[in-house]
Structure 1
């Protein structure tokens, strides 16, 4: 009888420890999974220019705007954050497919897509973006299918920084 109780307690304890460990692991890695950061081989201005050109040269894609985030921050009560631009871009065909169905219109808050280009304090330039591989899996269904198609095209546009969407 003692052996049976000890086994049940051990299994329950192991299960609880497993849940806690999984929660901690997900919490620590979720920010790395959701947002991908890549070092640019170019300086800040050239990185912005190259990304803009690559997007505009890809069939169906266009840059919808470039936000000078440093300017926006300082003009609205913040302090200097250094070189930081957000490149907004879109593909009309994919956008129409995504937003046509009522149950997918909620995705509009994540559109248009964007890249953040910024210079860190050591002078190195980075590009960050949401991880399409993870985002698609989170939603599933037709949203996942569309996001996977978009992700493949974005990876192609951004080969110069070795952008690759992954689940981990």
Structure 2
């Protein structure tokens, strides 16, 4: 009986430790931030050039600073580029079971200034996120994640 209590306590403690580890590490694993070598505008220009060079498209750029100003909030510069490579996107969008991942599309690259005066680029870790799904979604997100990372590496501090 004593051994059973130790096993149960061990399982509970193990589960709590695992929950703590996952909860503290998950945000760092799923979101990636890098400092840019360039000014805000030059970072956006260079990213757009890299997007074009890779054969990707930019359906839209959201100016979150301007959006927030409409609601009387003053925030530092933030623009979010929606980038897409149609031949990768169609792998997910053309299949009923994979279309659930459309909420993660298109890939987003955020460029922003922090109060330290530096410019940063952030993005979802698409490769890790795709790994959670497996199958076609994983394959598509691996390609998208690796290619978008190549695009981003053109502007970040190494």
> How far did residue 158 of structure 1 move?
2.1
Segments of structure 1 that go 5 or more residues without pairing to the other structure are 164-168
> How far did residue 46 of structure 1 move?
1.0
Tell me whether 1:62 sits opposite 2:65 in the alignment.
Answer: no
> How far did residue 8 of structure 1 move?
2.3
How many pairs are equivalent?
A: 157
2:44 alignment counterpart:
48
Among candidates 118, 121, 130, match of residue 124 of structure 2: 130
Segments of structure 2 that go 5 or more residues without pairing to the other structure are none
Among candidates 68, 71, 74, match of residue 69 of structure 2: 74
1:31 alignment counterpart:
27
The Cα RMSD (Å) is: 1.5
Per-residue displacement from partner, 1:114-153 (whole Å, max 9, x unpaired)? 1110000110111111111221111111111111122221
TM-score, normalised by the number of residues in structure 2: 0.92
Q: Is the 8 A contact 2:31 2:122 kept in 1?
A: yes
Among candidates 147, 152, 156, match of residue 153 of structure 1: 147
> How far did residue 37 of structure 1 move?
0.8
Higher alpha-carbon Rg: 1
1:166 alignment counterpart:
none
Among candidates 4, 11, 33, match of residue 8 of structure 1: 4
For 2:101 and 2:45, how far apart are their aligned partners in 1?
28
- Which ranges of 4 or more aligned residues in structure 1 deviate by more than 4 Å? none
